[in-house]
A and B are shown apart, each in its own frame.
Chain A
């Protein structure tokens, strides 16, 4: 009983393998697309197709071209730092989807929550005069404000679910669009439109115009020349916090119990309605935090005009969470991986005749496969069992009546 299960038979091992396999298949599919485009497009040679494939797998360590025109690889602090910078909001929207999923809710409202966080953060960061209030305090207020706005926007579908039993997916889709239009209108009537750098139109001021921006926390020393800042550290800390809350605390136990069986949770005296609203609020807060950290970077500009589409960062939280099997710690890595694909796309555009849309194909394949990751996991499980051989299943104690193994899924049917 006490002895450890072999590594290959552990559930967690299989989850990790399934995700890695999804990623690998996605990358191979992307490489195939690159190859096919290269073969059928006259302006592209086979050599450039090979270069494209290399960049898909190794874009993150690409350092450009040498004098002879060949691709060079090595540690590239700029792309690495940029990768971390772009991963920051992805990790947080991924967390948003993952923690909701852990409590039995599918949070497809991350884009709306992200936008709500965006609006709150920018207004607080730009409207409070930094001559009066110290910039670090504005930063904290803007960050907390973004989280609160996201939490509020997440709590709305949560309340609809808890009190009126309206499916959270439907409510989230609607609140997404309400958020998109509301945020457009709010900026439309605001005086935050960038009139200083008037070469560009329809942009909101960077928060750095008000002297507010996320401290670099020495990351600029490690990755000189990149956009990275302390946001990534905050994102990682939040992921660890979520992990602790859901795996170790009674609060997390309540939320998970409520998600897995609302009726049983209620029977046990857990306030089911409160739990559902809180789950969605926490999920929304994560999305809001993602928006805050992205816009507080100081070098990002929000394009407000006719903001009639939903931010991809919000939706990309879904594959990030699914690839991570909704484990908050794994979300850190899958978020970084998704932003690595972004970087690879940029490298393709910069260094070859391909454009970055190839990476969208890869992401699409991975999204499909991550939905299948459970199937892959089961398949891996089947392989592991076969390897274990015909000796009696370690799981079945002799004391157990034949039923539990034999009737399998049929059990507990009365």
Chain B
């Protein structure tokens, strides 16, 4: 155990127990000055608990924390602030109706005789934002700016308080690829200026790109700390999951058969602006293939899926599913015609969070004769069905079928939705960002399930923002840009760079594009 002051923060042998469970078991984390140190682990590996200990929200049973080699006690977030430790939470802690500047100075305001003095603060924030390349409009209200700008506001908040140790809790989960790129650059700038950064993530690409060293946790235990330069994604994922993980989906070439879904000239009006969010989109998805709609967030994918699944109305166009015109059908009718839907937002659409797991498992089919008798729910049938799904798809939860969905981890919530939708055994599966926010183990599992469904003769329509997922999983890529399909690509014959050009609107195929 080194005790040289080369470390700004050391967490030594931290153990934190909760009733019945050791969330952190003898974990050591040492942060050097000026480094970007990634903290890697699956959902539930104990990353958040460890950071809460550092931030003074929890008191550890054992272990000590040192700053610059000196033992310190952190008993509340105020103590952490006094030690110049700052944190950007995954969900931003901003007042929506305040301006950016007001948010930055909130809690650390300069006052004179009880009046706010914003002049000095404004100058300081301006200087900081130029120094680190954090571009924000100080007078814009937070509710009006993009998520990326909100995050920059959070970073400026930490810098304004002269924090030396910056914690980023899964900062990229809410960002678009461009914003992620910018954030990576900002983090590098910060480290170059001598700030020490703790970067919590389970995204291997980002860790490989930006971090100097990685500490890996698994199920509350310390696995190891290694230099990023001397490792690979495969090794990191093996350390994180505890077994070798297949990062590249293993699949045979697709064998497309008959058309399952045909979309012709679909146009959907936008809710935020006057133009159409989806413009004249046409394509066909066949049985036995995974068709992916790729694109940068906000280019009409959400509206397209809502119109396809019936959540919103299309203004023009025709949708044919399994030979039936479903353009004007209700959601229930579409679903019964043969469409299952893994929704983009699992909390808003995918689950009734206050219902139990078993109630959620029958959300799409509670009305089927199997689960009801003259309007009365057959509770035994629901229970045994839920138990089957839980077993078959390895959905983990505290109390099995009667667990409240809200209390489950994000990965298992998503697994429950995937289980429910796949098990309906319908010809078309619409999967929207099916792996968002999940760790590699869960991603691997969901990808293999989708491939298995394809091989079983289903048509899978994948909508994804993750380039890796798009390239890995799909048999055919349709790129959506500003509501239009601007290109149809074969993942085997294209590169990430080319795909990126289409996604950014810099390149597009002419009208000669076939509608397959």
Number of interface residues of A (CB under 8 A): 40
Q: Say which residue of B20, B219, B347 sits within 8 Å of A392 (CB atoms).
A: B20
**Nearest CB of chain A from residue B324's CB, rounded to whole Å:** 16
Q: Is A170 an interface residue (CB 8 A)?
A: no
> Does the CB pair B377–A402 fall under 8 Å?
no
A400-B396, A407-B49 given; 16 more Cβ-contact pairs under 8 Å: A251-B375, A256-B355, A260-B355, A264-B351, A266-B311, A267-B311, A269-B335, A396-B20, A397-B396, A400-B21, A402-B18, A402-B220, A406-B16, A412-B409, A414-B90, A414-B173
Q: Mark B439-480, 1 if CB is under 8 A from A, else 0.
A: 000000000000000000000000000000000000000000
Chain B neighbourhood of A411, CB < 8 A? 406-410
Q: Is B348 an interface residue (CB 8 A)?
A: yes
Given the known A-B contacts A260-B354, A411-B407, A412-B413, are A401 and B44 also in contact in the complex, defined by CB atoms under 8 Å?
A: yes
Q: Mark A375-408, 1 if CB is under 8 A from B, else 0.
A: 0000000000100001011011101111111110
- The distance in angstroms between the C-alpha atoms of A260 and B349, with both chains bound, is 11
Chain B neighbourhood of A265, CB < 8 A? 352
In the complex, what residue of chain A is closest to B49 when comparing beta carbons? A406
> Does the CB pair A400–B366 fall under 8 Å?
no
> Does the CB pair A404–B408 fall under 8 Å?
yes
Nearest first, the 9 A-B pairs at minimum CB distance are A403-B44, A269-B332, A414-B437, A406-B23, A401-B44, A393-B20, A392-B20, A267-B349, A269-B331
In the complex, what residue of chain B is closest to A394 when comparing beta carbons? B20
> Does the CB pair A405–B408 fall under 8 Å?
no
Task: Give chain A's interface residues, CB within 8 Å of chain B.
Answer: 1, 248-251, 253, 256-257, 260-261, 263-271, 385, 390, 392-393, 395-397, 399-407, 410-414
Given the known A-B contacts A403-B43, A403-B409, A407-B49, are A261 and B21 also in contact in the complex, defined by CB atoms under 8 Å?
A: no
Chain A neighbourhood of B118, CB < 8 A? none
Chain A neighbourhood of B213, CB < 8 A? none
In the complex, what residue of chain A is closest to B367 when comparing beta carbons? A250
Given the known A-B contacts A401-B409, A402-B21, A411-B408, are A253 and B377 also in contact in the complex, defined by CB atoms under 8 Å?
A: yes
Q: Say which residue of A1, A266, A405, A410 sits within 8 Å of B21 (CB atoms).
A: A405
Given the known A-B contacts A406-B21, A414-B437, are A253 and B399 also in contact in the complex, defined by CB atoms under 8 Å?
A: no
Segment 349-381 of B: residues with Cβ below 8 Å from A: 349-355, 359, 363-364, 366-367, 371-372, 375-377
If over half of B's interface residues share one DSSP class (helix, strand or loop), that class is named, otherwise mixed; here it is loop
Q: List 15 A-B contacts (CB under 8 A).
A: A250-B367, A257-B355, A261-B352, A268-B331, A269-B333, A269-B364, A396-B19, A396-B20, A401-B42, A404-B397, A404-B398, A407-B49, A410-B48, A413-B91, A414-B173
> Does the CB pair B375–A407 fall under 8 Å?
no
Chain A neighbourhood of B436, CB < 8 A? 414
> Does the CB pair B44–A404 fall under 8 Å?
yes
Chain A neighbourhood of B185, CB < 8 A? none
Chain B neighbourhood of A270, CB < 8 A? 332
Chain A neighbourhood of B219, CB < 8 A? 401-402
**Nearest CB of chain B from residue A191's CB, rounded to whole Å:** 45
Q: Is B157 an interface residue (CB 8 A)?
A: no
Q: Mark B69-97, 1 if CB is under 8 A from A, else 0.
A: 00000000000000000000011000000
> Does the CB pair A263–B348 fall under 8 Å?
yes
Chain B neighbourhood of A260, CB < 8 A? 352-355
> Does the CB pair A264–B352 fall under 8 Å?
yes
In the complex, what residue of chain A is closest to B412 when comparing beta carbons? A404
Given the known A-B contacts A269-B330, A414-B173, A414-B436, are A407 and B353 also in contact in the complex, defined by CB atoms under 8 Å?
A: no
> Does the CB pair A404–B352 fall under 8 Å?
no
In the complex, what residue of chain A is closest to B350 when comparing beta carbons? A264
- The distance in angstroms between the C-alpha atoms of A268 and B352, with both chains bound, is 10
Q: Is B171 an interface residue (CB 8 A)?
A: no
Chain A neighbourhood of B375, CB < 8 A? 249-251
> Does the CB pair A405–B335 fall under 8 Å?
no
Chain B neighbourhood of A249, CB < 8 A? 375-377
Given the known A-B contacts A261-B353, A411-B407, are A395 and B377 also in contact in the complex, defined by CB atoms under 8 Å?
A: no
- The distance in angstroms between the C-alpha atoms of A367 and B45, with both chains bound, is 44
> Does the CB pair B410–A414 fall under 8 Å?
yes
Chain B neighbourhood of A414, CB < 8 A? 90, 170, 173, 410, 436-437
> Does the CB pair B19–A385 fall under 8 Å?
yes
- The distance in angstroms between the C-alpha atoms of A401 and B415, with both chains bound, is 15
In the complex, what residue of chain B is closest to A258 when comparing beta carbons? B352
Chain B neighbourhood of A267, CB < 8 A? 309, 311, 331, 341, 343, 349-350
> Does the CB pair A403–B350 fall under 8 Å?
no
In the complex, what residue of chain B is closest to A397 when comparing beta carbons? B398
- The distance in angstroms between the C-alpha atoms of A383 and B48, with both chains bound, is 27
From A248, A390, A403, residue with most partner B Cβ within 10 Å: A403
Chain B neighbourhood of A251, CB < 8 A? 375
Chain B neighbourhood of A413, CB < 8 A? 90-91, 410
- The distance in angstroms between the C-alpha atoms of A395 and B18, with both chains bound, is 13
**Nearest CB of chain B from residue A312's CB, rounded to whole Å:** 32
> Does the CB pair A405–B377 fall under 8 Å?
no
